[in-house]
Each structure stands twice: as C-alpha cells, then as structure tokens.
C-alpha cells in the first residue's frame, strides 16, 4: 500500500510543475502585452492631444483672419455706400440737366422753324409789293444774309450732341466754332507716348493704350486726386466728370489717334468757375 501511494504522489507532482511554468509564462506574456498596449495608448493619447492643439491653433488663426476680413469687408461696404450716395446725387442732377437740355433743344428747334417760316413769308411779301430795282436788291441782300445764317445753323446742327445737350466738336475748326458761342472754355491737347501724365485744364490725362483699327483708346484720368480708368472709348465720345463746388459736368473728348498719340480737348463750363469761386468764398 505505501509503495502505490508513493508512486501516485510522484506522478501527480510531475505534471503540476510544467503547468505552473506555463501559467507563469502566460502571465508574463500578458503583462508584456498589457505594458505594450499601455505604451501605445499613451503614445496615441499624446498624438491626439498634439493634433487637437494644432487644430485649435489653426481654428484660432482662421477665426482671427475671418474677423479681419469681415472688418475689411465692412469698411469696403461703408466706402461703397458713400460712393454710391455721391453717384446717386450726381445722377439726379445729371438727369435734371438732361431733361432741361432736351426741352431747350426742342424749344430752339421750334423757334428756328417759326423764324424761318416768318422770314420766308416776309420775303415773298416784299418781293410781291416792291417792284423797284433797289428794293429788290435790298431784299436779295436780306435773303443772302439769311441764307448765310441758315448755312451756319446747318453746320452747327451737323455736330453731334451729347446726352447732356452739349455740342461735340470733331476737329480744331469746330472747337473754334464752339468757342465763339461763349458758353464754355476749351483746352486742346496732344499726348505723345504712353504712361506720360499730362495736365489739361482741371484733369490729368494719361494714355494707356490705343486700338487704331477700332479707333478706341484707353486712358487714365486724375481729378482732384481721384483716379479713373476709361477703357475702349471711341473717338468723339465725351467723358463727363465733376469737380468740387460745381454742378455742371466738364467733359473730355478724344478727336484723333495715331501710333502712341492722341489729340482732343477738355470742355469746361464757364459757370463752373463762378460756382467754384462762390463755394471757396462761402467756405472761408
């Protein structure tokens, strides 16, 4: 009996030791795996924290940039609203002037028609009632004078009119005709070469480009420190602009183009000089 018990005891202890070793290895492996997972978790957490900080900084920068852009847009919008009000006020004045000019032109045409009709009746009456040679010569003289005036009127009517009702001269001779009317001052100019600003009357004109085939020009105008670009402007097309203290527009007209050269004139209402003088006096 004692021998059998000893044999059984030995057999039982022989498998327990390997089992303990295996369990120990498994426990060590588990600890190693847990430590590795913990290290990776810490690394991942650190990476996420860094990414969040970077994203937060980027968002803050974007927000700051957005605030600056909004502030700039608000300023631009305020400036545009101010400019729009000025243009709207000018446009109201311009529309009133245009309406008045059309009414005056229609009135002049009616008056001219009535005068011509009355003169024609008067001439025929004189020819019918006066048979003397001297009288006929006097009537012929009147007819000749009237014919000369009519021819002059016809020449004036050949000039195109702008939307403001002003006559547009196409050359030096027509500019002289407009000068004789005494309503405006005319400053003629020639600009040779691009990017060469030239002072003409109340405006500085700079040639930027020419399309000789289409008879179009690109110019830059500076009026009282304000710069305006006018592109693809045709010959004899008036460009209107205003100066401080005046209600009537000035205009610039290009009559002739050549290679890197333009010629034209600036038209200044004489009333502008008086208005500007009154404005300066009241300001003082």
How confident is the model at residue 154, as a pLDDT?
45
CA dihedral 260, 264, 270, 274 (to 10 degrees): 0
Q: How far is CA 38 from the centre of its chain?
A: 66
pTM of the model: 0.45
Residue 15 has pLDDT above 70, yes or no: no
> Once rounded to an integer, what is the mean pLDDT over residues 191-219?
93
| Sheet with 261-269: strands ordered across | 184-192, 261-269, 250-258, 239-241
pLDDT of 135 > 60? The answer is no
Please give the distance of CA 172 from its chain centroid, rounded to a whole number.
31
Per the CB < 8 A criterion, the answer to whether 265 and 255 are in contact is yes
Distances 180 to 147, 173, 183 between C-alpha atoms, Å? 20, 11, 8
Q: If you average pLDDT over residues 10-35, what whole number do you get? A: 73
Share of the chain above pLDDT 90, in %: 30
92-96, 129-133, 238-242: least confidently modelled range: 129-133
Residues 178-203 have pLDDT tens digits of 999 888 999 999 999 999 999 999 89
Q: Across the chain, where does the E strand assignment appear?
A: 160-161, 167-168, 184-192, 198-200, 203-211, 216-223, 226-234, 239-241, 250-258, 261-269
Tokens, residue 278: 């009154």
Q: What is the pLDDT of residue 47?
A: 82
Q: What is the pLDDT of residues 58-111, one digit of tens each?
A: 878 888 887 888 888 888 878 878 777 776 676 666 777 777 777 776 776 676
Radius of gyration of the chain from its Cα atoms, rounded to whole angstroms = 47
């Amino acid at each position: 009996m004692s021998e059998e018990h000893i044999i059984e005891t030995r057999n039982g202890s022989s498998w327990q030791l390997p089992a303990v070793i295996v369990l120990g290895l498994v426990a060590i492996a588990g600890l190693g795996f847990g430590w590795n997972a913990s290290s990776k978790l810490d690394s991942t957490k650190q990476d996420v924290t860094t990414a969040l900080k970077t994203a937060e900084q980027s968002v803050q920068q974007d927000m700051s940039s957005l605030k600056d852009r909004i502030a700039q847009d608000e300023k631009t919008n305020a400036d545009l609203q101010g400019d729009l009000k000025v243009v709207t006020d000018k446009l109201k004045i311009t529309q009133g002037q245009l309406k008045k000019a059309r009414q005056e032109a229609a009135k002049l045409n009616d008056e001219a028609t009535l005068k011509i009709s009355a003169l024609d009746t008067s001439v025929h009456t004189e020819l019918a009632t006066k048979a003397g040679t001297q009288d006929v010569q006097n009537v012929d003289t009147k007819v000749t004078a009237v014919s000369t005036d009519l021819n002059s009127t016809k020449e004036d009517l050949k000039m195109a009119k702008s939307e403001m009702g002003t006559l547009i001269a196409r050359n030096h001779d027509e500019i002289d005709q407009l000068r004789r009317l005494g309503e405006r001052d005319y400053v003629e100019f020639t600009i040779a070469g691009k990017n060469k600003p030239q002072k003409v009357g109340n405006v500085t004109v700079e040639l930027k480009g020419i399309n000789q085939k289409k008879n179009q020009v690109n110019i830059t105008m500076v009026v009282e420190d304000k710069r305006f670009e006018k592109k693809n402007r045709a010959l004899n097309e008036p460009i209107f602009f205003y100066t401080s203290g005046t209600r009537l527009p000035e205009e610039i007209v290009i009559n002739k183009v050549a290679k890197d050269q333009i010629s034209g004139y600036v038209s200044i209402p004489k009333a502008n000089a008086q208005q500007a003088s009154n404005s300066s006096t009241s300001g003082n």
